[in-house]
Amino acid sequence: MQTTEAASVPPSLDEKKKEVRSPIWVKLRPIYPFIVILAIWQVAAMQAQGNQGRLFPTVDAIMFRAWELVTDPLFRALAENPNLDLMGYFWKLLESPILLHTLNTAWRLPFSFFIAAVVGTIVGILMGRFAFWESFFVPLLSVLLPIPAIAWTPIVVIWSGIGDQTVIVITAFASFLPIAMAVWTGVKTVNPVWIRAAQSMNADKMTIFRTVVLPGSLPMILSGMRIGLARAWRAGVGAEAFAGIRWGLSAGIFDAQEYLDIAFMMVALGILGLFGFVLEKVLFQPIESRTVIRWGMMEAMGAQDKKV
Amino acid sequence: MRLLQNIAKVYLRFLSRRVFARISVHWFDSNSPERLSLSSFLGIYLSMVTKISIQNLRKIYDTPERRVHALEGVNLNIEDGEFICLVGLSGCGKTTLLNMLAGFVEITAGTITMDGRPLTQDFDKGVVFQEYALFPWRTARQNVEYGLEIRNVPEEERTRIAQDYLRLVRLEEFADFFPHNLSGGMRQRVAVARAMAFDPQILLMDEPFGALDAQTREELQELTVDVWQKTKKTILYVTHNLSEAVYLGNRIVVFVPNPGRIREIVRVDLPRPRDDLAPEFIKLQRHVNDLIRDF
Ligand SMILES: Nc1ncnc2c1ncn2[C@@H]1O[C@H](COP(=O)(O)OP(=O)(O)OP(=O)(O)O)[C@@H](O)[C@H]1O
Ligand SMILES: [Mg+2]
């Protein structure tokens, strides 16, 4: 008996940490495909230099352009007025178009997503808990879900004009739909044995909801949020371009098209990609590793081990 | 001796719960509730020793496709502190009976009374399910504390009680582990601790160790007897394993299917701890086996 127990002792936390700590080259491994692609790009761009120059910039040209985009206003300001104070420099730095584009996208998107997450969770819970709301929302959402949210842009522009509000409405709407659906599914499919277990200890409905249904549906809710964020990202970026607003990374990309400024486009695209990556890293992975992964609920859902 | 103890216990309970009115209304409609006559006490004694009384219970599941007559004419009186095993072929309604006791499914006809009163939804029952029913988002200790939280037991006391029951199932060191880090047998032990910590009046166990390997199961059977002897809970225990039934039960209720009904109730008077290789043990096991199969 003693031995059975000893055999089933999981490794202690310290041991686990040691296992996870891996050498730096292992951590940096996901970067190497990018290096390969960039190298190929560089070679191809150098070949094409002769006739296409600006249309197919080399990697170093893009990097230089990125640097230039960020610091140009600052240097220009320096040239005009060499004795600017620190805050002055800061404000000048903020005048750089690429930063303005980035900042605009950076607040609009999380803001819209947040609205969608809150509303989507509430609607999903209503649907999961009350037959009335279920029969009300399910048909609506099923019809709305397949429509690309971008397609609503012209209507929303006509109704609410050109501006942040239009982009926010489109983005929030796009990500609201999958979130509501996922929360609904999660609430409906909580393991009934957990609910019976709570019932057998005389937990009332509200308590069961709070202590069993919510944590029990967390894996579904989180994966819904993920899909919601991806959708928000797509819709938001599209809406920026089509709603005709001035500031926003993809608005910037479409502007740059006019001047054939490929380097700018590449830089903006890179930032967009980085954005998604950072959101995943700072938002979802910490939440997941602290909750559903720690509880072993992802294995139950059949999720694969994520390395990146 | 046991009888005297019982009588004394019941008498105390009788007084402390101020059951005059209730019981006399229930049992002797015409009796004056103020007087404690010997006859009324006897009636109460019987009703008190009989923890659960099941009368003419019937269950019919009505589904759109078909009607299943799951249970018919089930009569069973369960004494306080008894260990009852339910055995029978698959589909003869054992889980259904347990679920009706737990209040998970409706009774079609018949009555279940507990301490002389009709069963209400919210009496204190502990249920150990065949599937792993632990909450994966709670550590072993937090799982055990769940029922106590529902009952608003203060935190310190909660922790202490949880600790006690984790010790009872020999899992103290694993208190802060999440269920997915525990082995199957350990999880079921936590489940037992969770059901017990709630201090239920009866414990309903539906093939709790069915999914475990033979060694672990034996170990947990011993543990169950141990816990039962220490806590004196009334236990209803469903199993497919006849050796397990003979090992654990005071009485074995043998069900036969179509419709599910009680074939016979076998009393097991073997002294504990029981030896599953003793001739009497094997004889009893064979007897139950015959009862299950040919009807
Ligand atoms: N929710 C339900 N709806 C319809 N029929 C049901 C339902 N639950 C059980 N039954 C039927 O009732 C009968 C008894 O089922 P029950 O689960 O009580 O059997 P059991 O004795 O526990 O069997 P096993 O040993 O396989 O667990 C079966 O024929 C089953 O199909
Ligand atoms: Mg069953």
- CATH number of the domain where residue A166 is located: 1.10.3720.10
Structure tokens at B265: 């109730």
Query: Domain map of chain B by residue range?
Result: 48-123+201-293
- CA-derived radius of gyration, chain A: 25
A297–B137 CB contact, under 8 Å: yes
> Is A41 within a domain?
no
- From ligand 1's centre to the CA of A277, what distance in Å? 50
- Percent of chain B surpassing pLDDT 70: 83
pLDDT in tens, A154-191: 888 888 888 888 899 999 999 999 999 999 999 998 99
β-strands B234-238, B83-88: how paired? parallel
A196–B127 CB contact, under 8 Å: yes
A202–B179 CB contact, under 8 Å: no
Which ligand 1 atom minimizes the distance to the CA of B63? Answer: 4
A193–B133 CB contact, under 8 Å: yes
In terms of CA atoms, which chain B residue is nearest residue A204? B150
Residues spanned by the domain of A153 = 75-301
Q: Please tell me the predicted confidence (pLDDT) of residue B168.
A: 84
B136–A1 CB contact, under 8 Å: no
Chain A positions touching chain B (beta carbons under 8 Å)? 1, 4-5, 8, 10, 193-194, 196-203, 207, 211-212, 215-216, 218, 291, 294-297, 299-300
> Is A21 within a domain?
no
What mean pLDDT is predicted for residues B174-189? Answer: 91
Helices (H), chain B: 2-16, 20-27, 38-49, 94-102, 140-150, 155-168, 184-197, 214-231, 242-248, 279-293
Q: Please tell me the predicted confidence (pLDDT) of residue A25.
A: 76
pLDDT in tens, A235-265: 888 888 887 788 888 888 888 888 878 888 8
B136 touches chain A (CB under 8 A): yes
> Is A43 within a domain?
no
Q: Which residues of A touch B125 (CB under 8 A)?
A: 200
> Is A248 within a domain?
yes
Q: Which residue has the higher pLDDT, B46 or B189?
A: B189
> Is A18 within a domain?
no
Most ligand 1 atoms within 8 A of CB, residue of B68, B85, B105, B258 to mutate: B68
Q: Record the pTM.
A: 0.77
The CATH fold of domain B48-123+201-293:
Rossmann fold (3.40.50)
Q: What DSSP letter does each residue of B73-141 carry, written as one string? A: EEEEEEETT-EEEEEESTTSSHHHHHHHHHTSS--SEEEEEETTEE--TTS-EEEE-SS----TTS-HH
Assess whether pLDDT exceeds 70 at residue A149: yes
For residues B63 and B268, what is the distance between their CA atoms, to the nearest angstrom? 38
Q: Which ligand is nearest to the CA of B261?
A: 1
The answer to whether residues B234 and B81 touch, using CB atoms and an 8 Å cutoff, is yes
User: Whose CA is closest to atom 3 on ligand 1?
Assistant: B61
Residues 6+ apart with CB under 8 A from B255: B86, B87, B88, B89, B92, B93, B94, B261, B262, B263
Q: Please tell me the predicted confidence (pLDDT) of residue B204.
A: 93
> Is A40 within a domain?
no
